[in-house]
A and B are shown apart, each in its own frame.
Chain A
Amino acid sequence: MKFLLTLYLFATFFVGLGSAQERPYFVTYSSDMEEPGNLEVSVKTLQASPKFANSFVSQTLELEYGATAWWTSEVYLSGQGTSSDSTIFTGYRWENRFRPLFREHFINPVLYIEYENLSADRSLLEIVGNDSIADLRIPNGVARRDIERELELKLILGSDFRGWNVSENFIAEKNLIEPEPWEFGYALGVSRPLQLAAGRKDCVFCRENFSVGAELYGGLGTLDSFGLKATSHYAGPAVAFNIPRGPTISFSPNFGLNDNSVGVIYRFNISYEFQQIFRRHSR
């Protein structure tokens, strides 16, 4: 709570004329890049009460910077608190994504590469391999001893037509230290703003400021056992509210689709985009 308050006060010092046209996705990446020179700060929160396990909350701070029009770089810092257990910092990720094609196409590809250094992480920002609800029952003291240093590659494909955005991600992840096989996963997202054309007047609670969508994501096994066997999957609706000249707030409940998955995960995001952060002087 304190953190969110600080973030809000921090944001109000920057009277940026920025409002993000954000997709409501939490797991799926669309082919949108961050505008060059802009820094988007997000806090993603996740809450779940897995069956037979302690309930937990996970928070991730994301700093997404548009380095160029075709290259976006992002840093994630994650932590989690598990009831009757502990609250811990769980690690960081550094991501870079690139647009290899310089025009818009029917399907736009984006190449994504990320380094993760995580332990006892419960941010569930992606599901790969044989990730399952059993991982979330391990007490933090035990889980923390396993530090995962992983390389993650994604192929992001995105399309926009008639206002609909359809995004597909194909994920491959490899532990760089342990002799574990490549793990695979996927994420699919669909979304649309509630109103395509802008209105004449400024407004807050109007349809053009809302986007709704749905996501489906899960694991696809490993190189040794590729497929749907022993994997977990989630699907759920998502809604984003872009406050004009303010933050974007999103919410999405994700429902587990089989016994390997948590019954329901609640995701919540607040993000704010700082416009042209290194160019204040030129205004």
Chain B
Amino acid sequence: MIRFMALLQNLPVVRLSPCFLLIFTLSCGAGDAPPFPSEAESTPAEDSIGERLFLDTRFAQYFAAHMTGVNAPLAVGDPVVATVPTPNGPLPGPFAGQSINCRSCHFVTEFQGVSGAGNRTYSDFTTRSPIPLVMNGFTETPRNSMHMVGSLQPHPGPTFLHSDGEFSSPADLVAATLTGRNFGWAPDQYQQALAHFAAIIRGDDGSSQLAKDRTNGLSYSTLFLGKDSSITSDLLIPAADRIDVQSASNEQILALVSKCIATYMGDLLFQQDEFGRYIGSPYDVFLRINHLPVQPNAGESIAQYNQRLYKIVVGLSNPKFVDGTMGNFRYHAQPFQFGPTELAGLKIFLKAAAVAQDGSQHAGNCASCHPAPDFSDFSFHNTGISQDEYDAVHGAGAFANLAIPSLAERNQNYDLYLPVTANHPNASERFRRAATAANPEYADLGLWNVYLNPDIPKPQASLKSIVCGAGKDCSVDNGLPNTIAQFKTSVLRDLEDSQPYFHNGSTLTFGDVVRFYIRSSQLARMGLLRNPPSEFKGMSLSDSDIDALVAFLKSLTEDYDDA
């Protein structure tokens, strides 16, 4: 032993040789990027209570008209929720025997594993959703149910909800929906709706299965008062928000309920780690394992990040591809992969054509409206869907010739042109309708219905900042013509769980979506698209790009459920 020690003392290098070995082994295989850490955050009480309110079926007009008691189930349910329409035919509705709730147009796992259906990201399966009460000839909502997940993703700039920007905060949207047409209330029934709503909240006793599942069997009045000792810490709302529903006004109750549901909606986000980095889809895994930047650097705009990402992706040599060993889908049949085709699609997605004369440049310029990592700019654009829908019925060029009034004429003749509101219950809503052969006056002009609409005051300031932002020409009618046929940009993540697509649910597959854009950008190049988006100038796509783009859009799929 002593000799061994003496030997070692004379050879310091011997002590270090394991270290040299370590250095050599380090260069092989240790460079795999670690997964992004995800910390479990505690859920605020308003989130859990909001989820119960989201599912509660007693706020609808049908329940008000047919109820025997606040806590008693209905004898016969509203037929509108008995079945759920899908492209493959109707399926039994999960709320059959009850009346409508928020969830009936915003499903999550109700149809998990059902063939022809499956999980949703808080949307439904049909083009436009059926509503309980037929009014002004409407049997459905004007627009396709938008997927809610990701719609309240924090982002720079104002927030808008609904395809046409009707609401600038989730609380406003909730209050309007609970007392509005989607729940069966006519526009002149606001006070009735409010009174019924408050009566349900006051009278609830927490005896329903829903209350047991979500709020420990506690009633709304107990939860909102927040003083009972049996309320666990995860259901205890902050002291500043508590109200006594028995003595509070109906408006106060509605405000707190809206806040609860809004909190719940705000938590509906795609999988992210604690630093806001997306982690769920094969695309996200691809970025991470290739050590690519996943979000803008500080001081860098989102547009700059996308341009930088494009250069990096184009310059990638020997990229690592994602396969089934790096992740798997529980709710999707597609393979968990990001391979060469998806990478080609990403390049097309990010590339902006210099001056697009034709469709040959393999440049989608998609990131100009759908920038990574959120894949939405949370703003409004006209992609030509309304024109496509109108011309399909009335012939090519018909939409371009449709007479659309000026600002003054529109606002002075509210009932002729604008949507139904409490002040104008008999308005025609002709420009918030699907185009139909029966009536050439019907078209869907999107944001045009809301912008500078005197009956919709709340979002106007934010809308003005978008419509008349930098580089926009608002010299004519304060920019109203710029808003013709503009609709909100949707988030492109996990679109597998929210078809059909676009505000009118007109396309069922990704291939159809890309084909539509090829058509529409070609119309724009020929000067035939009414109110074309400037972003189409950078779009140069042809049929050869479809497979790659479809593969890329599929790589944004992730498993979403409400767990």
Contacts and interface: CB of A to CB of B under 8 A. Distances in A.
Are any A and B Cβ atoms less than 8 Å apart in their complex?
yes
Interface of A: 51-54, 82-86, 106, 130, 132-134, 137-143, 145-146, 159, 161-162, 164, 166, 178-180, 188, 190, 216, 218, 228-231, 233, 235, 257-260
Given A161-B12, A190-B16, A54 B30 contact: no
B372 to A, nearest CB: 14
A228 B12 contact: no
Given A142-B275, A216-B23, A258 B31 contact: yes
A216 B30 CA distance: 15
Interface stretch (B202-210, B289-297, B448-456): B289-297
6 contacts: A54-B299, A84-B299, A134-B33, A142-B275, A228-B29, A259-B31
A53 to B, nearest CB: 6
B116 interface: no
Q: Is the interface of B mostly helix, strand, loop or mixed?
A: loop
Contacts of B27: 257-258
A142 B276 contact: yes
B26 A259 contact: no
Given A141-B298, A260-B291, A166 B15 contact: yes
Given A52-B292, A166-B16, A258 B23 contact: no
Contact of B36 (A84, A134, A146, A162): A134
Contacts of B32: 229-230, 260
B36 A216 contact: no
B288 interface: yes
A85 B300 CA distance: 9
Contacts, number: 103
B562 interface: no
A196 to B, nearest CB: 14
Nearest to B25: A228
Contact of A134 (B29, B276, B291): B291
Contacts of B276: 142
Q: Is the interface of A mostly helix, strand, loop or mixed?
A: loop
B306 to A, nearest CB: 14
B304 to A, nearest CB: 11
Given A146-B274, A260-B33, A166 B12 contact: yes
B293 A52 contact: yes
Nearest to A258: B31
Nearest to B19: A188
B298 A229 contact: no
B293 A53 contact: yes
Given A137-B293, A259-B31, A228 B26 contact: yes
B289 to A, nearest CB: 9
B9 interface: yes
Contacts of B15: 159, 166
A146 B36 CA distance: 14
Given A52-B291, A134-B34, 12 more contacts: A106-B9, A133-B291, A142-B275, A142-B276, A166-B12, A179-B40, A180-B37, A216-B19, A233-B26, A258-B26, A258-B31, A260-B34
A278 B455 CA distance: 77
A230 B299 contact: no
Given A188-B19, A260-B34, A146 B12 contact: no
Interface in B277-326: 277, 288, 291-295, 297-300, 312
Nearest to A165: B12
Identify the 10 closest CB pairs spanning chains A and B, nearest first.
A84-B299, A130-B34, A85-B298, A258-B31, A230-B34, A139-B298, A259-B31, A52-B293, A228-B30, A230-B32
B213 interface: no
Q: Find the residue from B5, B19, B35 having the highest chain A CB count within 10 A.
A: B19
A257 B312 contact: no
A119 B5 CA distance: 45
Interface in B441-486: none
Interface string B2-31: 000100010010011001001101110111
Contacts of A180: 37
A218 B36 CA distance: 18
Nearest to A222: B34
B290 to A, nearest CB: 9
Contact of B275 (A138, A164, A228): A138
A14 to B, nearest CB: 37
Contacts of B299: 54, 83-85
B297 A54 contact: yes
A162 B40 CA distance: 53
A148 to B, nearest CB: 11
Contacts of A106: 5, 9
Contact of B298 (A86, A162, A233): A86
B190 to A, nearest CB: 41
Given A166-B12, A260-B30, A134 B298 contact: no
A86 B297 CA distance: 12
